[in-house]
Amino acid sequence: MSRQNPYIPIPVTIESAVIETDDRLIKTFDLVFRDKGDEERFTYLPGQFAELSILGKGESPIGIASSPTERGFLRFTVMKVGLVTTALHDLEEGSIMGVRGPLGNWYPVEEMRGKNVVIVGGGFAFTTLRSLLVYMLDQRDQYGEITCIYGARNPGLLCYRGELDEWAKRDDLGLYLAIDWKFGPEGPIEGPSEEGWAPVNLKDPSQTTLDPSVHKFTAFVPQLVQAVKPRAKDAFAIVCGPPIMIKFTIPVLLDLGFPPERIVNSLEMRMKCGIGKCGRCNIGSKYVCKDGPVFTYKELQNLPKEY
């Protein structure tokens, strides 16, 4: 950490602000540093976050969605939730705002070199996973097999759809997308929820026969992980999504043979300072802002269940 006052936001300009999802609640912002020196000092790795700062409104901790291999901008994908994110959504391209960071730790990109990586994401928590995926694809020869399993409630809620289409064409990446089942009074309805979204075996997802030409599925994310059956040998699983998805995905990964130290999660908490001082984002003695947000499942097993 450079010796600068960590509470002072770095000025940036909003270069682009694009609505990401059909519900119009998620927007992606590309931010450009106003000072070249600031840009050089802002060195980060996939998994880190920053406080987006709008003077007069406040700050929100948001994961960095761009990869450090992409130069010239910082990308953040933000859901409109409260005061700050609403104000941010209202800002136009060209507006000046602030960024405080990079904060927190990162995915184990060094340990994973030469290993296989399975990315499991749900909803708009895909942001730092995008950062990781782009980071690895930009140094493709440094990593083994890469599998990406990503789901949202419906196709219109998937982020980065243009990129997903591009990634689907690559033969050095196993991309699997999921949308939720449609529900009847008796529970999930067998069959595709949308045209072109093949169902997995509802009774036993692991019995699904995968057609190599198909990458879009009707399934909950944990079921799609069961269907894809990524190999655990020499592999890391990186999981980021809503708590319910994480809760059901971890047992699947353990069953597949992933050891707890190679299942990696990213957590979120209400935060203010982002530097481990204001005292609110702790789980046990660990601060999600400073000691996290990335924790292995093994580390989480040793912490109180208070998240």
Partner 1 sequence: MNAKFLSFADLDGFIRGLAKSHTVVGPRKRKGGTLYAQVSTAEELELEQTNCLRGPKEFFFPQSEVLVEFEGYIDRAVPAGESEKPVPLVLFAARPCDARSLEILDRLFVNEDYVDDYYKAKREAASIFCLSCNSPKPSCFCTSVGGNPFDTSGCDVSMTRCTDGFLLEPLTGKGESFVKDLNDADPSLLEERQRLRKEAEGVVRTDLDIGGLPEKLKNMFDDPVWAEITDKCMGCGVCTYLCPTCHCFDIQDEAVDNKGKRVRNWDSCMFPIFTYHGSGHQPRDKRYQRMRQRIMHKFNYYVENFDVIACVGCGRCITECPTNEDLRDNLKKLKELESSTVE
3-state helix, strand, coil split of the chain in percent (to 5) is 25, 30, 45
With CB under 8 A as the contact rule, the residue among 21, 53, 193, 265 that binds partner 1 is 53
E strands along the chain, which residues? 10-19, 26-33, 49-54, 58-63, 74-79, 96-103, 116-122, 146-152, 174-179, 183-184, 187-188, 198-199, 216-218, 235-240, 263-266, 282-283, 286-287, 294-296
Residue 270 engages partner 1 in binding (rule: CB under 8 A): yes
Residue 159 engages partner 1 in binding (rule: CB under 8 A): no
Q: Are 244 and 218 in contact (CB under 8 A)?
A: no
Cα torsion 290, 77, 57, 81: sign: negative
Residue 31 engages partner 1 in binding (rule: CB under 8 A): no
Q: Which residues between 66 and 105 bind partner 1 (CB under 8 A)?
A: 81-82, 85, 96-98
Mask: binding to partner 1, 224-253, rule CB under 8 A, as x and -? -------------------x----------
Q: Residue 101 CB, nearest distance to partner 1 (Å)?
A: 12
**Complex with partner 1: residue 62 or 264, whichever CB lies closer:** 62
Backbone angles phi, psi at 235, to 5 degrees: -125, 150
With CB under 8 A as the contact rule, the residue among 14, 26, 33, 59 that binds partner 1 is 59
Residue 276 engages partner 1 in binding (rule: CB under 8 A): yes
Backbone angles phi, psi at 218, to 5 degrees: -95, 110
With CB under 8 A as the contact rule, the residue among 37, 196, 212, 279 that binds partner 1 is 279
Positions that interact with partner 1 (CB under 8 A): 1, 3, 5-9, 11, 34, 53, 55-60, 81-82, 85, 96-98, 243, 268-270, 272-273, 275-282, 284-285, 290, 304-307
